[in-house]
Structure 1
Amino acid sequence: MHHPGPPRFVAVGESVELAPRQPDPDMAAEWRLHERPAASTAALSDGPVCHLEPDAPGTYRAELTAPDGTHEQVVRAFPAVTETARFSVTEDDFGHDDLTVADRAIVIGTFNDFTTGTHWAERDGDEWVIETDLPPGTHHAIFSFDGSFEATATDAVTVDGPGRPRVELTGETVGDDLVVTADARAAPSGSEPEVEFHLDGRDALAASAVTIDGDELRVPRDALPETARIHAVTVAERHSVADTLVVERDGGIGDRETVTGDTVTVSRPADPPAWTGDATIYEIFVRSFAGETVDTTFEAIERRVPYIESLGVDVVWLTPVQASPTRHGYHITDFFDTATDLGTRAAFESLVDRLNDAGIRVVFDLVINHSSRDHPAFQLHQAGVPEYADYYERIPAEQDISGVDWAGEDAPGHYFNWTRIPNLNYDSLAVRRWMLDVVEEWHDLVDGFRCDVAWGVPHGFWKEVRERVKADDSEFLLLDETVPRNAAFAENEFDMHYDTDLFDALRDIGTGEAPASALFEALDATVEHGYPDRTAHMRYVDNHDENRYIDHCGAAPLRAAVGATFTLPGTPMIYAGQERGVEKQRGTMRWHDGDNALTDFHRQLVDLRADHAALRAHGVRPIPHTTEAGDSEAVVAYERTDGDETLVVVLHFGEGTAAVSLDAPVEDTDLLSGDRVEVDGLVEVGDVVVVPAARNR
C-alpha cells in the first residue's frame, strides 16, 4: 500500500515531509492540500515527496493520488513555543593562536541541522552574535570562521519554559466495548494537559463508531475492523510524542501480545523489545579490535568471541562492515556488500552465527543518511547522468563554504564539514526505494540496526522502516544516533536512544566542572525532553566519536562513571577498549598490555546488574549523605529498588577513598567487591559501592 502512514504531529513552523510508502521510482504520485486552518496560507511543495510547513495551529489534510488509489495524510499542527535566543563568542573563546578573524562567522547547531552556510553571526564590537528563535531547553551553537571547524568556539543558552508532556495508552475490553485510556502526564513546570485521539487513515475504523470522553475512547467490538491503529497526543503549552495502540481481531502478534478479550488483541508497536531492559551492549570499532600486528577481519573477530563471552555482554554493535575506503567505515561505497579487507559476506554471516550461538545479538551499523562521494551513484550524479540527477541533496553555490571546486553551478548538501559524505536526497522516490532495499538486504541477517546520523533522515522514512523490520520480528532493535537527544524519534521510530545528557554530565563530573549530583539532573532531562516512560536509553561513557573518558577525565573517575552506567536505569554500553584501558579514541585494542583489573571490574558490573533486578528497574531515589573524608562534590548516593530488593549505590569520582555517612541504614558488605565497606556507621568507597539496604529499615 502506498498510503503515507500515520497522522503526523508537529509545531507551527516545523516542516514535515509527506511521501508514498512502498515507493517505485517510476510511479505516478501527486499531492494536493484539500484542508487547512482558516488562518493558514501554507501550501505543499511540488513532487511525489512533498513538504508542508504549517503556519497556523490546526489540522491539515493532504491527499495523495497513487497507483493504488487516493489516500489522506493528516498533519496536526500545535502552537510553537519559542523565544529569541542570543548566542555570542569572542576571539578568546576560540583558543587558537593563528586565528584569522572575519566580520562574520559560520554558525551551526540543531536549529539548522548542523548545515553550514545558512546561519551567520555578525561582529558586534568584540563579539560575534547571532539570534534565533528556539524552544525551551538548553541549546548549543558552534562558531567557525573558515568552515574547516579546526578552530571553533561554542556557546550555550537555556530557553526557559516547560518541557513536553507525555501520554501512555492502554486498552481493554469492557463488556461489548474496547476501551482505550490515555494516561496524560504534565511536563515538569507545565500545566495539566488535555488528550487528543486520532484514528489512522489506513484502517477501516469509522469515526462515527468511536466515542471520546476526555481521556477515554470507546468503540464497540463489533465495529472494529481486522486492524485498527489508535493514536493519541497530550497537549498543554507544548504537545507530546504520540503514543499508539494496534488493535487486532481474530489474531495475535506473538509473545508481546496483551489479550484483552476473546477475539481482540491490543499491542504497543512503539515499545522496545523486552530484552533491552536486561542487556549490556559492547561496541566494537572493527578495524582496531584484532591487535597491533594482525589485520582485523571477520574471522579475526570470530576467533576472539570467547573474550566477548567472558565479559557477559548480550549485544555486539559492530561499526560499519560495508565496502568503504576509510578505516572507520562510514564512507560507504557499496551498500550491499562487505568490505574486502574485512572479509566476504559468508565470513560475516559466520561471525554473526558464532555470536548468536553464544547468546549474543548482533547490531549492524546502518548508514543511510549519506554515501561516500566515491560511490558510483554520486559520481554519476555529479557527472550529469540523468537517472541519478535527484539522488543527492543540492544547495545553492552561495551557501557552500566548503572550498571544494564542485562540478556544476551548485553544490551537494552535507552536514558540518563532511564534504566527503554528501547527503542522500529523500525527496527522491528512487533514493527511498534504494535505501529500503538496503534495509531489507541486512535485516534478516542481524538482530538490530544502530542508525548513523539518524537525525538527518526524515521521520516519515524511519516510521516506514520500523513497520517493515518489526512486521515479522518484534524483537529487532532500532537504536538511533540522535545527538543531541530529540524525543520525536521515539514516536514509532526507534526503540533505544543515545543518552547524551548523562554522557555530558559524567564528563563534567569527571573533570570537576560539575558535582556528582549532576547525574540526577541528566536523568531528569529525559522527562523534560518528553520521552515516553517505556523508552529505552543507552547509557555510556565512551564511543568511537568521542575522546576516551580515561583520556578526557583521567583514570580515577572512570570507574565511578562506568559504575553509574551500570547502576542507573537504562541499557549500559561498553566501547571495546574501555575495559582494557585504551586511551586513544579509535586506538588498537590492548590485548597483551591491557588493564586486567579494569577488565575484571567491568565483568563484575555486568554480572552484578544481571544478578540484581533492582539495578535494571525504573526509578532512582537520591539519598542524602555527608562526606566525612574526601571531596563531597565527588560523591553521590542513590537507591534502586524493584519492590522486592532495595540496593544503595555510592559513587566516588575523586582520588583515594571517601568516607560517607548515609541517611539510610545499609548492610556492611559491598556486592560488587565482596569487601566489608561499612565501618562505624561510615561507608568507605574508592569508586563504586553497591550495598543492600538494611533489612530492619
Structure 2
Amino acid sequence: MKIYLPILFLFVLALQTSCSHSTETKVENHWPHAGITYEIFVQSFYDSNGDGIGDFNGVAKKIDHVKELGANAIWFMPIMPSPSYHKYDVTDYKAIHPDYGTMDDFKNMLEVAHSKDIKVVIDLIINHTSSEHPWFVESRKGRDNPYRDYYVWAQKDTIADFLNKKTITLDSDNIRQWHDPGVGEDFYYGFFIGGMPDLNFDNPKVREEIYEIGRFWLEEIGVDGFRLDAAKHIFPDDRAEDNHAFWKEFRSEMTKIKPDVYLVGEVYDMKEVVAPYLPGLPALFNFDFHYTLLKAYEEEDGMLLAKNQKEILDFYQQISDEFIDATFSSNHDQPRLLNSLGGNPRKLKQAITILMSMPGAPYLYYGEEIGMLGKKPDENIREPFLWDIKANDTGRTTWIEAEYSIDDMVTPLAIQKSMSTSFFNHYREVIKLRNSNRALALGDLSLYEEELAKPLMAYYRSYKEQQLFVVHNLSDQTLSIDAPKDFDKVLFTLGLGSLDDMVIDLPPYSTLILSKD
C-alpha cells in the first residue's frame, strides 16, 4: 500500500504540535482596521470551465473557503485586460480580463462575497499602463497627438546622462527607466520596464481619467476599495512631497464617491519614508514586519520583531491615529513563507500565530494556509492552488506546470480539512482565536521588559478590561520563563507550551497566551 508522504508527515507532526484554546467566545469582524484580508491570484485559484485558467466563477464557487478560514475580505491581484500573465500592465481599466470571465461574472462573484459579509478589494495599477494601452498607442504617434502628454516624454539629448542609470531600488531591479519607442528622437519614461510606461500625473487630464476609473469601480461595479500598486512612484523619488499630495487628492476624490472606501498602498521602504503617505493612504503594507519576522527566526532573536513593531506603531501614531497597519507574512512578490522558514512546519504554524497575535490588519496569501511552496521566479510563487489530490481536482488550474506546490510536496486542502493538526486547521483555529478576543485584534502592544532568553518573544496585548500575555519560543531548544503576576489562565497553546506553578515551559517553536482570571 502506497503511503501518501505529506499526510504521513503531518501525522508525525501531530505528536509534536498541539493547538487549543479555552472558552468559546463570539467571533467578530474587525475589518478594515484589524480584519483579515485574503490575497488571491485569480489565474491560479479555481478553474470553473476547464480551460486551465482560474476565473471569477471559480472564485464565486470557493468563497466559502475564504469564509471558513475566517478572513473578512479578498484582495484580487490585477484583473483587468493585459498582455502579461500577471496583468500589472493594463490595456483597459474598465473591463475584466477575458481569461477570468465577463464583467457579469465579476458582479456575480461580488454579490456572493457581499452576501457572506466578505469585502472585495481590487488591484488598481495607475503608476503606469501597458505600452499596448490605447492612450500610449496614440501618445507615441507624435508630439502633436492629444495623448502625448498623458505620458512622460523627453528628447534623447536632454536625458543622455540618465539613459544607462544603474540605480537598484527595493521594489525594482530594473536598470533603465528611459525607453526608445523607435519612432524618433523622443524617449519615454517607464520606471519598471519599457512595456509599462509611466503616466504623467502633472497632467490634470490624466488625474481626471484616474478618478473616473475609481468612480466606475466603486459606484457602477460596487467594489469596496483598492490596493494601490507602486504608490511611491507616481512621481519620481525626488518629488516625494508631490507623491504625498497626489494621494491626499486621490483619497479626497474617492471618498466623495464612497465615504468608507478602503485604500491600501504599496510603499516599499523604511518607516520614515512610508509614514508621510498615511494621510492619503490610511492603510499601508508593513514590509518591515515580513522581513523582520524572517530575520528573527534566522538569528533566533525573539524580541527583534516585537521591538521593531512597537517602534513602527509608535512612529505612525505621530502621523495619524487612524492608520491601518497592513501586516503580512508573505505575498505574491516574496518566496512562499514555508520556503523562507527552511521548510520547517512548526515555524510556519508559529509564524501565523505571531502574525495573528500582533496588532495590525493581517493579509494572508492564498495557499499559505495549506503550506504551499514556491521560490523565484515570480511565476513559481503563484502556482495553482491544490484543492484535492490531482486525480480528483477538477478545479486545479494548469496554466503553469507547478514546480514546488505539487502533490508529493503539499497536502491538498480536501485532505487537510479532515486532519486536526493540518496547516489549514491551525490557520483556521488561530484566526478564530484572534477574531474572538478583542485584545488580540484591537489591543495595544506593550513589550515584556524583564530579562529573558534571546529566542523568546514576549509582549502584552490590552483592550479595555482584557489583558493578555503572549510568549513565543523561536528556537529548537526548550526554554522557560516566569509568568507575569496574575496571568494564570491558559487561553491558547501551540507546540505543547505549558504553565505550571506560574512557570511557563516552552518546547521548540511553541507559543503560550495567558489571560488574567
**Fold equivalence (TM over 0.5):** yes
Q: 1:482 to 1:661 in 2, by over 3 A?
A: same
Amino acid at match of 1:606: I
3-state SS in 2 of match to 1:364:
strand
Aligned residue for 2:100, secondary structure, equals: coil
Structure 1 residues 301 and 657: CA distance shift in structure 2, 3 A: farther
The CA deviation at 1:683 is 3.0
Alignment of 1:200-599 (within 5 A): 275-290=31-46, 294-384=52-142, 386-395=145-154, 396-398=158-160, 399-401=162-164, 402=176, 405-407=180-182, 408-415=184-191, 417-444=192-219, 445-457=222-234, 458-471=243-256, 473-484=258-269, 485=271, 486-491=274-279, 493-512=280-299, 514-528=301-315, 530-554=318-342, 555=344, 556-584=346-374, 585-592=381-388, 593-594=411-412, 596=416, 597-599=422-424
Aligned partners of 2:458 and 2:469 also within 8 Å? yes
How far apart in 2 are the matches of 1:378 and 1:514? Answer: 50
1:64-109 CA-partner distances (Å, limit 9, x unpaired) = xxxxxxxxxxxxxxxxxxxxxxxxxxxxxxxxxxxxxxxxxxxxxx
Distance 1:367 1:453, change over 3 A: same
The answer as to whether partners of 1:605 and 1:672 remain within 8 angstroms in 2 is no
- Cα 1:461–1:682 shift into 2, 3 Å: closer
Distance 1:425 1:552 in 2: 38
- Partners of 2:146 and 2:75 in 1: how far apart? 35
Separation in 1, partners of 2:224, 2:197: 28
Q: Distance in 1 between matches of 2:508 and 2:120?
A: 35
Offset at residue 666 of structure 1 (A): 2.9
**In structure 2, C-alpha distance between the alignment counterparts of 1:536 and 1:337, rounded to whole Å:** 29
1:314 to 1:662, Cα distance in 2 relative to 1, 3 A: same
Q: CA deviation at 1:286?
A: 1.6
Does structure 1 conserve the Cα–Cα contact (< 8 Å) formed by 2:496 and 2:510?
no
The structure whose residues are more often strand, as a share, is 1
Measured against aligned partners, the alpha-carbon deviations of 1:486-538 in whole angstroms (never above 9, x if no partner) come to 111112x1221111222221121122275443331233034335432331111
The SS at the match of 2:258 is coil
Corresponding residue of 1:642: 463
- Output one character per residue of 1:319-355: Cα deviation in whole Å (capped at 9) or x when no partner: 1111011121111111111100001011001111111
The 8 Å contact of residues 561 and 653 in structure 1, kept in 2 or not, is answered as no
Larger RCO: Structure 1 or Structure 2 (Cα < 8 Å, ≥ 6 residues apart)?
2
Cα offset, 1:675, TM superposition: 6.9
**RMSD of aligned C-alpha atoms?**
2.6
Kept in 1, the 8 Å contact 2:96–2:103? The answer is yes
Q: Which runs of 5+ in 1 are unaligned?
A: 1-272
* One-letter amino acid of the structure 2 residue matched with residue 468 of structure 1: E
The TM-score with structure 1 as length reference comes to 0.56
Q: Which moved more, 1:471-480 or 1:336-345?
A: 471-480
Normalising by structure 2, we get a TM-score of: 0.75
Taking every aligned residue pair, what percent have the same amino acid on both sides? 24
Q: 2:315 and 2:251 mapped to 1: Cα distance?
A: 25
After superposition, the Cα gap between the structure-2 partners of 1:480 and 1:528, relative to the gap in structure 1 and judged at 3 Å, is same
Give 1:42's aligned residue: none
In structure 1, what residue type is equivalent to 2:308? E
More helix by share: 2
1 CA distance for matches of 2:74 and 2:278?
22
Rounded Cα–Cα distance in structure 1 between residues aligned with 2:478 and 2:32: 34
One-letter code of the match for 1:541?
Answer: S
Quote the Cα distance in structure 2 between the aligned partners of 1:525 and 1:562. 20
Cα gap change, 1:371/1:505 in structure 2, threshold over 3 Å: closer, same or farther? same
Aligned residues: 417
The DSSP-based 3-state class of the residue aligned with 2:511 is: strand
The answer to whether the 8 A contact 1:453-1:481 is kept is yes
Alpha-carbon deviation of 1:400?
2.1
Conservation of the 8 A alpha-carbon contact between 1:581 and 1:594: no
Task: Give, in whole Å, the separation in 1 of the partners of 2:94 and 2:141.
Answer: 23
Alpha-carbon distance in 2 for matches of 1:306, 1:598? 18
